[in-house]
Chain A
Amino acid sequence: AQTVTQSQPEMSVQEAETVTLSCTYDTSESDYYLFWYKQPPSRQMILVIRQEAYKQQNATENRFSVNFQKAAKSFSLKISDSQLGDAAMYFCAYRSAYNNDMRFGAGTRLTVKP
């Protein structure tokens, strides 16, 4: 079974600074997708960024980018120019291309200090 590990329960960043959230996963599959979701206090799950395992190029979405290291099974999220609205729980997720199920990490709570 696939597992997703987020080793940082909590992270803190100063407004306008950059922060990196870590995620590692374990799988024997060759085809899969990786995601970062943001969950603000409202509990709504918001897709931040996604990466296809077959693509070598790291995904970027405005201030959000990933460092995808397939051999190391690592998928970190970098948030640049952090804003107060970025404060939330962030979940790393793995989705199998074979059965479509998604597995989540335990989450990292990000605090943004003004």
Chain B
Amino acid sequence: GEEVAQTPKHLVRGEGQKAKLYCAPIKGHSYVFWYQQVLKNEFKFLISFQNENVFDETGMPKERFSAKCLPNSPCSLEIQATKLEDSAVYFCASSQSGNRDGPYGYTFGSGTRLTVV
């Protein structure tokens, strides 16, 4: 499809519970990115994939966060043992590679709002 589909739109978890978010990138886009947007609106980069391979994971809190992009499946972002500070909107974006002949911007999904109570 021509949109990045993120599910669920809203997710509520008790502190310590697991949260799993999904993202179906646009078909043909080889890059997938996850960002965390907290209430202050700042976008924090988490992780990027080139196809099913992790491209850059410098933003991931590795103790509790993990992510996968497997062939023929939606990408996923999983948070083990959620904390109150994990409450945020998590955006997924996909893109073709940045080259001079193709699109350079990201196409964003509509986000998943995670609330940890």
Give residues in A with beta carbon < 8 Å to B.
33, 35, 39, 42-45, 47, 50, 52, 54, 89, 91, 95-97, 99-104, 106-107
Complex interface bits, B46-84 against A, C-beta within 8 A gives 1, otherwise 0:
001010000110000000000000000000000000000
Q: Is the CB of B56 within 8 A of A99?
A: yes
Nearest to B95 among chain A residues (CB) is: A100
CB neighbours of A99 from chain B (8 A): 55-56
Extra 12 A-B pairs, beta carbons < 8 Å, given A35-B104, A102-B93? A33-B105, A39-B41, A43-B89, A43-B110, A45-B93, A45-B106, A52-B100, A54-B100, A91-B43, A95-B104, A100-B31, A101-B45
CB neighbours of A107 from chain B (8 A): 41-42
Give residues in B with beta carbon < 8 Å to A.
31, 33, 35, 37, 40-43, 45, 48, 50, 55-56, 89, 91, 93, 95, 97-98, 100, 104-108, 110-111
User: Main SS of chain B's interface residues?
Assistant: strand
- With both chains docked as a complex, state the minimum distance between the C-beta of A98 and any C-beta of chain B, in angstroms: 9
* A102-B55 contact given A43-B89, A91-B43, CB 8 Å threshold: no
Nearest to A32 among chain B residues (CB) is: B98
CB neighbours of A43 from chain B (8 A): 37, 89, 110-111
Nearest to A9 among chain B residues (CB) is: B41
Q: Is the CB of A100 within 8 A of B105?
A: no
Q: Is the CB of B105 within 8 A of A103?
A: no
Nearest to A91 among chain B residues (CB) is: B43
CB neighbours of A95 from chain B (8 A): 98, 104-105
Of B48, B55, B105, B110, the most chain A CB neighbours within 10 A belong to B105
- With both chains docked as a complex, state the minimum distance between the C-beta of A44 and any C-beta of chain B, in angstroms: 5
Q: Is the CB of B89 within 8 A of A50?
A: no
Nearest to A99 among chain B residues (CB) is: B56
26 contacts between A and B (CB under 8 A): A33-B104, A43-B37, A43-B110, A44-B108, A44-B111, A45-B91, A45-B106, A47-B106, A47-B107, A52-B104, A89-B41, A91-B43, A97-B98, A100-B48, A100-B50, A100-B97, A100-B98, A101-B45, A101-B48, A101-B55, A101-B56, A104-B35, A104-B42, A106-B40, A106-B41, A107-B41
